[in-house]
Structure 1
Amino acid sequence: KVVFDNNYRPRLWASVDAARAAYHAVLAEVDIALLTEDDERALFGYEDSEQVFAAYPTIAEVVLKRGADACLIRCEGERFEVPALVVEKVVDTTAAGDSFSAAYLASRLKGGSP
């Protein structure tokens, strides 16, 4: 399986067009896309989760990370919504998305459902 985590950082690209072209080329090859709603909005201008899901009809499993909002998942045509846990005091959000992705993939590799 090929997994892609979008993690768009504009300063790392020569232009937004170069980033878009590279992302489209990679996304055409993936089985699982771990996407962040904010990154999809910044790169492609998608206004909501429905636009994100509609943009990737051929990807079998799309996981849309939305920070403190519920995570949305489309897997093999089924949709899931996984509520975010409430955290009273956030100390540091560094690598929060990466940590989520690692835990999600570990669970899926062990046979867990989306």
Structure 2
Amino acid sequence: MIKIYHNPRCGKSREGLKIVEESKKDFEIIKYLENLPTKEELGSIINLLGINSEDLLRKNEAIWKENYRGKSLSNDEILDAMLAHPKLIERPIVVNGSKAIIGRPPEKIKSIL
């Protein structure tokens, strides 16, 4: 089943959700700010995306700038930061089986539906 990691307050995430809805396929909405993924789940998503943990960060968030910018962090420490402050996780993320994509721009989501 398709999963979309969604933040309803984010315009790009809402656009991504609309694309998934229009596909008419079964999907699950995961409001990741309320229902945090586990560290293992987040690591698995990163592996499916084929990126490193730093590439999933929203580095323009104030939380990042105030607490982490300029520090040398391991992948594990970056995961911990994202789980402590889920606003740091880029969105939306769509997972379809063994494929995943960050919906920036949202139209990229169509490639895995």
Which protein is richer in strand relative to its size?
1
Q: Larger helix proportion, structure 1 or 2?
A: 2
Tell me, yes or no, whether TM beats 0.5: no
TM-score, length-normalised on structure 2? 0.26
Higher relative contact order (CA 8 A, sep 6+): 2
